[in-house]
């Protein structure tokens, strides 16, 4: 169980929220740009320090201001797919996926076996030697996910992983992503603007507004709220939260 | 008609500007015979100056890289009290006249200088030694590297370092395996500029290190000295420096092009 109860003063508002996510559960985080979604992911990853509160996984604190614990990002075992994927452009697809294993001082043989497994599973083995910046958007997304999963993370964070793909690719990747996340029994949080992602990937959804949770519940509840909202606002029901 | 006249005027200005820059450089070649250049290459003053210049400039560049890289990275990534002042101080030697830099170094590290007097008491002297040449070169050339390195580090999006951290890399591991390789073209370009500035350094060197053949007489100082006696030797040295300058410009242009290509990607 991932437990988050944090406060942080941001430039325009205070981020203040409390969430619990069970193992194997996929929480979809939706909300306007700048409402604090990515900040929350970065706090969980240890890249931004909350002002106060706690972040714990299965009773183990990752951050706790009351006892001054702040585990460094490299020791949190978090798989993070960044919005722009952040694939290292000077490395090949193989080296990108192997990066997290090299930091753990695994032998080359072990690294090769694991990387081969993950790349083959994602259909990327054929392009293992290609530079990360030379591959297509869909391939980048798969590499980023393989790179995050190969370290066997305890938590998965995905920041709009489908936003830079075209519509047709998005539909295909949604299915893939859902299956992948399902197969890893860890708490997952995915930030998205697209309610199609919420509907087809998530178990539960949270709507964030100015650093607070405005609505939390089953995917269907948030979807139904969003449909009403879209009718009132006259927006495209597919991507409401931009 | 007016458009043609305007184009002709612009072309004339470009030609005049190019001629103004190219003529003195071309004159170096035109006023010099290949035989005289080859003969002068064996002159001890040329050999000593070339050896000293290349040695000191290389050492200077290494020192600037070792000292400047952490400073550039910290200034690119972190905010701290006094950062603006540190930035201004780093840039100061670029604007400061070299003669002022020379006298400032003397006041600091000369025999009677603030630090120099204590070193002198310990039997260690910097001024008017080869070490003084390196001090002068580091002082004037470090901003060229640090400024370029800072820009190169800033161009590496923080998300790459963050990704490395979440994958298990410490700050240092992330720096050496992600940030540094991604900024490398810019760093090399900055190092080449610092090397070039060291090679051409004159004012601060002559004031702080003096002009002793084989010890402190670098190529620009040797040109100044030999042109009062043997112009062929001075011209030979000048040609060597021009050749190195062309090489440096070609290298920097190539690296800069590759750097911007990487940033765009």
Residue B36 within a domain: no
Inspect the interface and report whether the beta carbons of B162 and A45 lie closer than 8 Å: yes
Residues of chain B found within 8 Å of residue A133, distances taken between Cβ atoms: 265
Say how far apart CA A67 and CA B111 lie, in whole Å.
Answer: 56
Mean pLDDT of chain A: 88
The predicted pLDDT at position B265 comes to 52
A149-168: per-residue pLDDT in tens? 999 999 999 999 888 777 77
Inspect the interface and report whether the beta carbons of B168 and A42 lie closer than 8 Å: no
Q: Kindly report the nearest CA distance between residue A102 and chain B, in angstroms.
A: 9
Tens-binned pLDDT, residue by residue, of chain B (265 aa): 788 899 999 999 999 999 999 998 888 888 777 888 888 888 888 899 999 999 999 999 999 999 999 999 999 999 999 999 999 999 999 999 999 999 999 999 999 899 999 999 999 999 999 999 999 999 999 999 999 999 999 999 999 999 999 999 999 999 999 999 999 989 999 999 999 999 999 999 999 999 999 999 999 999 999 988 888 888 888 988 998 888 888 887 887 777 666 655 5
Closest to A83 measured CA to CA, from A177, A190, A169, A179: A190
Q: How many CB pairs under 8 A join A and B?
A: 67
pLDDT at B32: 76
Report the pLDDT value the prediction gives residue A242, as an integer from 0 to 100.
47
Structural element, H or E, at residue A60: strand A60-64
pLDDT of residue A237: 47
**Is there a single domain that holds both residue B122 and residue B19?**
no
**Cβ separation A103–B162 shorter than 8 A:** no
Select from A73, A88, A90 the Cβ nearest to the Cβ of B166.
A73
Q: In this complex, which of A86, A88, A151 lies closest to B168 when CB atoms are compared?
A: A151
Cβ-nearest to A47 among B157, B160, B165: B165
CA dist., res. B111 & res. B123, Å (int): 10
- Total domains in the fold of chain B: 2
Contacts of B96 (CB under 8 A, 6+ apart): B104
Task: Domains for chain A: give ranges and CATH numbers.
Answer: 1-77+154-242 (3.40.50.300), 86-152 (no CATH)
Shared domain for B7 and B63, answered yes or no, is no
Looking at the fold, whether B18 and B94 belong to one and the same domain comes out as: no
Of A78, A83, A90, the CB nearest to B166: A78
The C-alpha of B187 sits at a distance from chain A's nearest C-alpha, in angstroms, of 15
Nearest to A74 among B165, B177, B265 (CB): B165
Same domain, B111 and B172: yes
Question: What DSSP assignment string belongs to chain B?
Answer: -HHHHHHHHHHHHHHHHHHHHHHHHHHHHHT--HHHHHHHHT-HHHHHHHHHHHHHHHHHHHHHHHHHHHHHHHHHH---TTHHHHHHHHHHHHHS-HHHHHHHHHHHHSTTSTTHHHHHHTT---TTSHHHHHHHHHHHHHHHHHHHHHHHHHHS-HHHHHHHHHTT--HHHHIIIIIHHHHHHHHHHHHHHHHHHHHH--HHHHHHT---TTTT--HHHHHHHHTTT-HHHHHHHHHHHHHHHHHHHHHHHHHHHHHHHHHH-
Based on the fold, state whether residues B158 and B229 are members of the same structural domain. yes
Q: In this predicted structure, what is the pLDDT of residue B262? A: 60
pLDDT of the residue at A183? 85
Look at residue A56 and give its three-state secondary structure.
strand
DSSP assignment letter at A133: G
- A12 contact partners, CB below 8 Å, separation of at least 6: A34, A210
Q: Report DSSP state, residue A48.
A: S
Contact A81, A163 (CB under 8 A): no
Query: Can you tell me the distance from the alpha carbon of A44 to that of A78, in angstroms, rounded to the nearest whole number?
Result: 9
For an interface test with A, give the residue of B159, B161, B167 to mutate (most A CBs within 10 A). Answer: B167
Q: Rounded CA gap, B222 and B48, in Å?
A: 9
The nearest CA of chain A is from the CA of B77 a distance in Å of: 14
Residues of B engaging A, defined by a Cβ cutoff of 8 Å: 157, 159-160, 162-170, 173, 177-178, 181-182, 262, 265
CA dihedral angle for residue A84, residue A87, residue A93, residue A95, rounded to 10 degrees = -160
CATH number where B251 lies: 1.10.3720.10
In a domain, B196, yes or no: yes
Q: Is B178 exposed, middle or buried (0-12, 13-18, 19+ CB in 10 A)?
A: buried
- Going by their DSSP bridges, the two strands A212-218 and A204-209 should be labelled as antiparallel
Same structural domain for residues B21 and B51?
no
Determine whether the interchain pair B165/A72 forms a contact, defined as Cβ–Cβ distance below 8 Å.
Answer: yes
Contact call for residues A62 and A55 (beta carbons, < 8 A)? yes
What lies within 8 Å, CB to CB, of A6 at 6+ separation is A15, A16, A17, A18, A40, A43, A50, A52, A53, A54, A55, A63
Q: What is the pLDDT of residue B245?
A: 86
Distance from CA of B188 to the nearest CA of A (A): 16
For helices B44-77 and B231-264, angle between their N-to-C axes, nearest 10 degrees: 20
Dist CA A170 CA A161 (whole Å): 9
Q: Which of A72, A75, A88 sits opposite B178 (nearest CB)?
A: A88
**DSSP category for residue A116:** H
According to DSSP, the residues that pair with A21 across neighbouring strands are A2
Neighbouring CB atoms inside 10 A of B46's CB total 23
**B123 and B219 part of one domain:** yes
B145 in Cβ contact with B90 (< 8 Å): no
- What confidence score (pLDDT) does residue B76 get? 95
Q: How far is A235 from chain B (nearest CA, A)?
A: 32
Inter-residue contact B40 to B240 (CB < 8 Å): no
Strands of the A2-9 sheet, one edge to the other: A14-21, A2-9, A52-57, A60-64, A69-70
This complex has an ipTM of 0.89
Nearest Cα of chain A lies from the Cα of B265 at a distance, in angstroms, of 7
pLDDT tens, residue by residue, A89-137: 999 999 999 999 999 989 999 999 999 999 998 889 999 999 998 898 8
Q: Which domain, by its residues, includes B26?
A: 1-31
Cα–Cα dist B218/B130, whole Å = 10
Whether residues B163 and B234 share a domain: the answer is: yes
* C-alpha to C-alpha distance for A155 and A75, rounded to whole angstroms: 12
- Residue B86 CB coordination number (10 Å): 14
Do B160 and A88 count as a contact with CB atoms less than 8 A apart? yes
Instruction: Give me the sign of the Cα torsion angle B74, B75, B80, B83.
Output: positive
List the single residue in A47, A88, A103 with the smallest CB-CB distance to B173.
Answer: A103
Tell me the residues of A at the B interface, defined by beta carbons under 8 Å apart: 42, 45-47, 72-76, 78-80, 82-84, 86, 88-90, 99-100, 103-104, 133, 147-148, 151
Pairing of strands A188-191, A155-159: parallel
Judge contact between A190 and A83, C-beta under 8 A: no
Mean pLDDT of A175-181: 85
Q: Do A47 and B265 touch (CB under 8 A)?
A: no
SS3 A120: helix
- My answer on whether B117 and B157 are in the same domain is yes
Asked if B45 and B148 sit in the same domain, the reply is yes
Domain presence at residue B98? yes
Please say whether the beta carbons of A202 and A27 come within 8 A.
Answer: yes
pLDDT band, very low/low/confident/very high, at A233 (cuts 50, 70, 90): low
- Asked whether residue B19 falls in the same domain as residue B96, the answer is no
Residue A46 and residue B165: Cβ atoms within 8 Å? yes
Q: What region does B168 belong to: left with phi over 0, alpha with psi -120 to 50, or beta?
A: left
Residues of A in contact with B181 (CB under 8 A): 90
Best A44, A62, A72, A74 member to test B by mutation, with max B CBs in 10 Å, is A74
Taking the C-alpha atoms of residue B132 and residue B110, their distance in angstroms, rounded to an integer, is: 9
Element (H, E) at A44: helix A37-45
Q: How far A148 CA lies from chain B's nearest CA (Å)?
A: 7
Same domain? B133 vs B181 = yes
Dihedral, B47, B48, B51, B53 alpha carbons, nearest 10: -120
pLDDT score recorded for residue A63? 96
Facing residue for A103 by CB, picked from B160, B169, B181:
B169
Q: How many CB atoms lie within 10 A of CB B65?
A: 19
Residue-level pLDDT at B201 = 94
Provide the pLDDT for residue B231. 85
């Amino acid at each position: 169980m991932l437990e988050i109860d944090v406060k942080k003063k941001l430039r325009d508002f205070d981020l203040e929220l409390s969430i619990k996510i069970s193992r194997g559960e996929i929480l979809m985080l939706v909300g306007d740009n700048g409402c604090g979604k990515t900040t929350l992911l970065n706090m969980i990853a240890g890249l931004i320090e909350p002002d106060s509160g706690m972040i714990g996984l299965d009773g183990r604190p990752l951050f706790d201001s009351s006892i001054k614990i702040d585990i460094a990002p490299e020791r949190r075992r978090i798989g993070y797919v960044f919005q722009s994927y952040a694939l290292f452009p000077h490395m090949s697809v193989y080296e990108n996926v192997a990066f997290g294993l090299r930091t753990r001082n695994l032998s080359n043989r072990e690294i090769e076996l694991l990387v081969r497994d993950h790349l083959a599973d994602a259909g990327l083995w054929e392009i293992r030697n290609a530079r990360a910046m030379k591959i297509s958007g869909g391939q980048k997304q798969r590499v980023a996910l393989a790179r995050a999963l190969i370290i066997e993370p305890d938590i998965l964070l995905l920041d709009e992983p489908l936003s830079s793909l075209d519509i047709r690719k998005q539909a295909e990747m949604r299915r893939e992503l859902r299956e992948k996340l399902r197969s890893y029994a860890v708490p997952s949080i995915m930030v998205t603007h697209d309610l199609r992602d919420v509907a087809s990937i998530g178990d539960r959804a949270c709507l964030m507004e100015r650093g607070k949770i405005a609505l939390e519940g089953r995917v269907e509840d948030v979807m139904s709220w969003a449909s009403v909202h879209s009718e009132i606002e006259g927006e495209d029901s597919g991507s409401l939260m931009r | 008609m007016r458009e043609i006249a305007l184009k002709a005027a612009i072309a004339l200005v470009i030609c005049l500007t190019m001629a103004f820059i190219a003529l003195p450089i071309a004159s170096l070649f035109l006023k010099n015979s290949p035989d005289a250049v080859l003969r002068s290459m064996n002159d001890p003053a040329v050999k000593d100056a070339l050896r000293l210049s290349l040695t000191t400039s290389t050492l200077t560049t290494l020192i600037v890289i070792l000292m400047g890289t952490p400073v550039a990275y910290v200034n690119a990534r972190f905010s701290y009290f006094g950062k603006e002042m540190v930035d201004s101080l780093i840039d100061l030697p670029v604007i400061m006249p070299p003669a002022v830099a020379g006298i400032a170094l003397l006041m600091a590290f000369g025999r009677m200088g603030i630090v120099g007097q204590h070193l002198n008491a310990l039997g260690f002297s910097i001024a008017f030694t080869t070490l003084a040449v390196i001090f002068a070169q580091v002082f004037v050339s470090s901003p060229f590297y640090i400024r370029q390195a800072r820009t190169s580090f800033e161009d590496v999006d923080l998300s790459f370092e963050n990704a490395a951290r979440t994958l298990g890399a410490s700050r240092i591991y992330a720096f050496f395996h992600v940030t540094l390789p991604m900024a490398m073209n810019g760093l090399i370009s900055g190092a080449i500029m610092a090397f070039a500035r060291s090679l051409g350094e004159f004012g601060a060197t002559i004031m702080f290190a003096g002009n002793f053949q084989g010890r402190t007489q670098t190529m620009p100082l040797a040109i100044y000295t030999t042109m009062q006696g043997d112009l062929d030797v001075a011209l030979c040295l000048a040609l060597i420096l021009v050749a190195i300058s062309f090489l440096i410009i070609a290298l920097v242009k190539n690296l800069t092009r590759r750097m911007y290509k990487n940033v765009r990607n």
